[in-house]
């Protein structure tokens, strides 16, 4: 019996040893488990770092797209909410004296002061010291400021008074609704477009006067009538008045030049280019009280067309040197 008991103990110990050895072979030890865990952590870190990198890129792209959308919506979207709807006559209610509409007044004062300075020198025909610095001179196109500053130079008192009256009567009401910076953008866009177009069509012509900006303001009124048609009172009458004024001016210019054969020192190309720029920029930057689908498409068309024309004009003035040498 004692021998049998000893044999049972040996067999039981042997079984335990086999079980332990089997467990060791099936399950790795602590060191192997540690190495395996480290490998898993490294692969996890690599995976998460790649995911984090992609996530960050996606977040930045989304932020950029959101900024672009907000910039576009700032000009295109209406100020209305889902509760309030603009109706006929709402545009007229937008007139405000605050902030004061003084930008066009300040530009007019600057033009008067510079003209008076040259007049004090006995020069009222754009040949004074100020005029020589600011006038658009086709032989000094490298002086880029002249493409804008020619608006400060006027040939005679009548030329100055006509431009002042028109830009004040048209510019100030626009400022009261659309704020000063929008009106200044329209005005300067017309001035720049006038000089660029004239430099390409009539390379030898000198330019003086703010007519490009004035015609831009006229066209901007047409633009705001189009974009706020349903919110304006008597929109059709206002549109017809401005179209009639434009038609009379263009018709008179064509008649004087091609039928009466009068040689007048009037930059008709600058007038036309200023009007086109005023219409396109007016659609782009002036306030649209209530956005509609077709107005958004019109906005995109105006912005793309304006920048295409302006970039083309600038590049032509820079690189088309043969055009200016042979004419």
pLDDT along the chain (327 residues), means of 10: 46 45 46 52 54 67 71 51 54 89 96 96 91 92 94 92 93 94 97 95 89 94 92 88 81 73 73 94 94 91 96 93 74
Q: Quote the tokens at residue 254.
A: 């064509």
What is the reported pLDDT for 70? 66
Same domain? 140 vs 46? no
Q: In whole angstroms, give the CA distance from residue 167 to residue 103.
A: 11
pTM: 0.72
What is the reported pLDDT for 71? 61
Among residues 159, 199, 211, 221, the one annotated as catalytic is 211
Domain boundaries, position 228? 82-326
- The answer to whether 139 is a known catalytic residue is no
What is the reported pLDDT for 181? 95
- The answer to whether 271 is a known catalytic residue is yes
Same domain? 51 vs 172? no
Count: domains in the chain = 2
Q: In whole angstroms, give the CA distance from residue 95 to residue 84.
A: 19
CATH of the domain at 202: 1.20.1540.10
What is the reported pLDDT for 3? 43
Q: In whole angstroms, give the CA distance from residue 282 to residue 222.
A: 8
CA 107 to chain centre: 22
Residue ending a domain, among 16, 45, 76, is 76
What is the reported pLDDT for 300? 95
Q: Three-class SS of residue 136?
A: strand
Among residues 271, 308, 322, 323, the one annotated as catalytic is 271
What is the reported pLDDT for 292? 87
What is the reported pLDDT for 308? 97
Q: In whole angstroms, give the CA distance from residue 31 to residue 42.
A: 17
What is the reported pLDDT for 144? 93
Q: Three-class SS of residue 261?
A: coil
Same domain? 115 vs 155? yes
Residue ending a domain, among 15, 43, 76, is 76
């Amino acid at each position: 019996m004692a021998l049998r008991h000893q044999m049972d103990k040996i067999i039981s110990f042997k079984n335990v040893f086999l079980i332990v050895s089997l467990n060791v072979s099936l399950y790795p030890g602590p060191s192997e488990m540690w190495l395996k865990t480290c490998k898993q952590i490294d692969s996890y870190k690599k995976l998460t770092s790649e995911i984090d990198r992609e996530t960050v890129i996606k977040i930045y792209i989304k932020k950029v797209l959101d900024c672009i959308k907000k910039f576009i919506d700032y000009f295109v979207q209406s100020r209305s909410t889902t509760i309030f709807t603009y109706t006929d006559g709402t545009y007229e209610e937008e007139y405000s004296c605050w902030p004061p509409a003084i930008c066009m007044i300040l530009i007019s004062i600057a033009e008067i002061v510079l003209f008076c300075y040259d007049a004090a020198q006995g020069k009222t025909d754009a040949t004074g010291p100020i005029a020589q610095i600011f006038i658009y001179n086709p032989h000094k196109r490298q002086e880029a400021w002249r493409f804008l500053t020619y608006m400060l130079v006027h040939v005679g008192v009548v030329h100055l008074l006509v431009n002042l009256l028109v830009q004040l009567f048209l510019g100030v009401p626009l400022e009261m609704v659309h704020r000063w910076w929008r009106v200044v953008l329209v005005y300067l866009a017309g001035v720049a477009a006038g000089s660029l177009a004239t430099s390409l069509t009539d390379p030898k012509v000198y330019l003086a006067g703010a007519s490009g900006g004035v015609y831009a303001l006229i066209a901007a009124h047409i633009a705001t009538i189009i974009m706020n048609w349903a919110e304006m009172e008597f929109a059709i009458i206002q549109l017809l008045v401005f179209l009639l004024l434009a038609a009379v001016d263009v018709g008179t210019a064509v008649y004087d030049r091609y039928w009466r054969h009068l040689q007048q020192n009037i930059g008709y190309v600058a007038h036309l280019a200023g009007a086109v720029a005023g219409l396109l920029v007016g659609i782009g930057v002036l306030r649209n009280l209530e956005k509609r689908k077709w107005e958004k498409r019109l906005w995109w068309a105006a912005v793309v067309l304006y920048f295409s024309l302006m970039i083309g004009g600038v590049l032509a003035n820079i690189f088309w040197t043969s055009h200016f040498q042979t004419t």
